[in-house]
A and B are shown apart, each in its own frame.
Chain A
Amino acid sequence: MTITLNGDAYDLSGPLTVSELLARLDIDPRRVAVEHNLIVLKRPAFDHTTINAGDQIEIVNFVGGGARARQIHP
């Protein structure tokens, strides 16, 4: 199945939870925030939020300063 991950198409073998996706990407869940279909998830919801085909996922963290580029598209 294909999802949209940070604005780009991303292929996955099948539905999985947000926690499973973060583990697969080797991302420490304590360091990021996740938006699932435009809804920002509370961290405890990572374990029981399932990502399905066509879903839109944004994973963000903190970086230095403020870059000029438009980063998140509605």
Chain B
Amino acid sequence: MTADTFVIAGRTFASRLIVGTGKYSSPSVMVRAHEASGADMITVAVRRVNISDRAKESLLDYIDTTRYFLLPNTAGCYTADEAVRTARLGREAGLSHWVKLEVIGDERTLFPDNEALVEATQVLVREGFVVLPYTTDDPIVCRKLEDAGAAAVMPLGAPIGSGLGIQNLNNLKIIREFSRVPLIIDAGVGTASDATIAMEIGADGVLMNTAIAGAQDPIAMAESMQLAVRAGRLAYLAGRIPRKMYANASSPVEGIVGR
């Protein structure tokens, strides 16, 4: 098999699994889970520094930035303006012009506001950002994001943190067929098989946080996700057999004793 590389905007990644930094019980668990995941891209949120409580350590004290590529995100932003400002701040804080763009439309579902998302993508692409937008599993929105200059499209498998697994596999297959930029399934993974299914339909990568951070043993789950993503990718490249209605014997049908 020829080398299977994962490239976004000209940058090659060793792993097709992208992981988050939220909801871990402690920084040391997070660090060990990151190691076990084999990921080389990690997403981080941009937030106001707590002025009244300066004792808090920085997340960057725990992340080896020579080993991991940091992807600032705009989680928690509800308008295109907020997301654009946050992306600009993230660029200055991290010296990375990449952004996982989120413009949330509703607090309860955390579904994206796709209209504002396309608008923010256009603005940030003009400013030279590599934009990876988190979107719904809508092929038309994904096409609009691609037309706006997004470096990848990141449709959800299910609502953020829900762990429901992929809800609309058919849409994701259509997005796979339509899309000329990398397809990353972002959000909704609950367990390893969900990640494998995403990769088996030809997704280029999977991004997850809660499935690992919220597991009873996040370090073991991180390793399981590494294997799941690799297994799904290999199965996709290997090319599965077609589904058939009836049995098709594996053993020769000639030379059966007594016949």
Looking at the assembled complex, report how far the CB atom of B214 sits from the nearest CB atom of chain A, in whole angstroms: 11
Binds A, one of B1-9, B73-81, B244-252: B73-81
Partner of B54, one of A5, A25, A68, A74: A25
The contact string, 1 if C-beta is below 8 Å from chain A, for chain B 48-75, is: 1101001000111000000000101101
Q: Which residues of A contact B22 (CB under 8 A)?
A: 64-67
Chain B residues bordering chain A, tally (CB within 8 A): 42
**Residue contact B75 to A67, C-beta cutoff 8 Å:** yes
Q: Tell whether A68 pairs with B51 under 8 Å between CB atoms, given A31-B60, A38-B85, A62-B45.
A: no
A66 to B47, alpha carbons, bound, how many Å? 9
Question: B46 an interface residue at 8 Å Cβ cutoff?
Answer: yes
- What is the chain B residue whose CB lies nearest that of A8? B51
Chain A residues bordering chain B, tally (CB within 8 A): 36
- What is the chain A residue whose CB lies nearest that of B93? A33
Q: Which residues of A contact B213 (CB under 8 A)?
A: 65
A44 to B94, alpha carbons, bound, how many Å? 14
Q: Which residues of B contact A66 (CB under 8 A)?
A: 20, 22, 45, 73, 75-76, 102, 160, 209
Question: A13 an interface residue at 8 Å Cβ cutoff?
Answer: no
- What is the chain A residue whose CB lies nearest that of B22? A65
**Interface of A, helix, strand, loop or mixed by DSSP:** loop
Q: Which residues of A contact B54 (CB under 8 A)?
A: 25-27
**Residue contact A64 to B110, C-beta cutoff 8 Å:** no
Looking at the assembled complex, report how far the CB atom of B197 sits from the nearest CB atom of chain A, in whole angstroms: 24
**Residue contact A60 to B102, C-beta cutoff 8 Å:** no
**Residue contact B47 to A71, C-beta cutoff 8 Å:** yes
**Residue contact B93 to A32, C-beta cutoff 8 Å:** yes
Question: A1 an interface residue at 8 Å Cβ cutoff?
Answer: no
Looking at the assembled complex, report how far the CB atom of B82 sits from the nearest CB atom of chain A, in whole angstroms: 6
Q: Which residues of B contact A72 (CB under 8 A)?
A: 48, 77, 82, 85-86
Q: Can you list 10 A-B contacts (CB < 8 A)?
A: A6-B51, A33-B90, A35-B89, A58-B89, A59-B51, A63-B59, A64-B30, A65-B75, A65-B213, A72-B86
Q: What 8 A-B pairs have minimum CB-CB distances, sorted nearest first?
A: A65-B22, A66-B75, A33-B92, A33-B93, A64-B21, A62-B44, A33-B89, A40-B88
Other A-B pairs, 20, CB within 8 Å; known A58-B89, A66-B102, A70-B82: A10-B51, A34-B92, A38-B85, A41-B92, A58-B48, A60-B90, A61-B47, A62-B44, A63-B44, A63-B45, A63-B59, A64-B30, A65-B45, A65-B75, A66-B20, A66-B75, A66-B76, A67-B76, A71-B47, A72-B48
